[in-house]
Amino acid sequence: MTPDTNRRWLLASRPTGEPTREDFELEESDVSEPGPGEVLVRTRYLSVDPYMRGRMRDADSYADPWGIGEPMRARCVGEVVDSEYDGLETGDVVAGNLYWAEYATVDGDRVERVEVGDLPVSTALSVLGMPGRTAYVGTVDVGRVEPGDTVVVSAAAGAVGSVAGQIARIAGGRVVGITGADEKADWLTDELGFDAAVNYRTAGDLSAAVAEACPRGVDLYFENVGGEVSDAVTDHLTDYSRIAVCGKIALYNQEDGDVPRGPRRLHQRTRTRVEGFIVSDHAHRAEHITDRLRRWVSEEEVRYRETVTEGIESAPEAFLGLFEGTNVGKQLVRVA
């Protein structure tokens, strides 16, 4: 049966600097019944991700900007509650690029069945989803991690970083995580098998703290943060080291003119390979990578956490928390 009302978040304004709750507007509207070829999906979980900050800005990027007054988009997991699409039935659990919304009526080919085996469906948005695949691509394909490498991961207790560090450990690396809270640092070393963790908020001289944690230097830096964290790691890169540039969240709330011109502090690192990547460019390998992650999770070689806020109302708070570090592991919103 089709429900009556839907609530969804719209982009109300383009933030300058840190986004605030006022940049989002919760709209109530009727639920549209699916037409031919369409499905109606009830969202169970929606994913909030740092890249969304870029889409709130009207600037050139690999992802198109969202328009003011347009619905916020998100990767979601949900349940088909009505289907006019051959191949999907009521009750099927699907994932797709949908909206910050309770319901979405979309073409059936915009969603696919969720394949997570015995794991919770939310993992299709976390360790078995885009963040897990990003961790794999950055560590294995771009970072080309080797046994014996010293690997530093920033935003190490987040969705991507926590998995990247564990993959580097499985590959035989010595893994050091950088994060912003002692509890997160303890999680990395005590539960995820990181060899050391540095709290960038309390370390004082961060470059010295990285040197202490990495006595043989840094062979691979999995870059999630940028700015001063990045500078502190760059100081200790070895000859023929690599930087896998996954993201630079510390810069996402800075306006263009304020973003430091870089790459900084690479003046004595002429043999370092710096390579950025976007996980969607590796979509052809998604199935292979997901299978590998599923096996590691089932063997408890890779552990994961999800931080979940409750209700569609909480989506902006969940998103804003990414820039404060309120999440451990993947930040999700449970909608239904």
Ligand X SMILES: NC(=O)c1ccc[n+]([C@@H]2O[C@H](COP(=O)([O-])OP(=O)(O)OC[C@H]3O[C@@H](n4cnc5c(N)ncnc54)[C@H](OP(=O)(O)O)[C@@H]3O)[C@@H](O)[C@H]2O)c1
- Which residues contact ligand X by CB under 6 A? 49-51, 131, 134, 155, 157-161, 179-181, 184, 224-225, 229, 246-250, 277-279, 322-323, 325, 327, 331
Core vs surface per residue 256-274: b (16+ CB within 10 A) or e: eeeeeeeeeeeeebeebeb
Residue 204: is it exposed, middle or buried by C-beta count within 10 angstroms (0-12/13-18/19+)? exposed
CB of 185 to ligand X, least distance (A): 9
Q: Which DSSP helix (H) or strand (E) runs through 259?
A: none
Which residue's CB is nearer to ligand X, number 51 or number 119?
Answer: 51
Report the residue closest to ligand X, judged by CB. Answer: 158
**What is the token pair recorded at 327?**
């999440």
CB of 68 to ligand X, least distance (A): 23
CB of 163 to ligand X, least distance (A): 8
Distance CA 114, CA 43 (A): 13
Residue type (1 letter), 14: R
Which residue's CB is nearer to ligand X, number 4 or number 256?
Answer: 256
Of residues 192, 200, 185, the one with CA closest to residue 169? 192
Which residue's CB is nearer to ligand X, number 173 or number 247?
Answer: 247
CB of 137 to ligand X, least distance (A): 7
Distance CA 186, CA 199 (A): 10
Q: Among all chains, which residue has been given the structure tokens 């202490």?
A: 212
Which residue's CB is nearer to ligand X, number 71 or number 177?
Answer: 177
Which residue's CB is nearer to ligand X, number 122 or number 331?
Answer: 331
CB of 82 to ligand X, least distance (A): 32
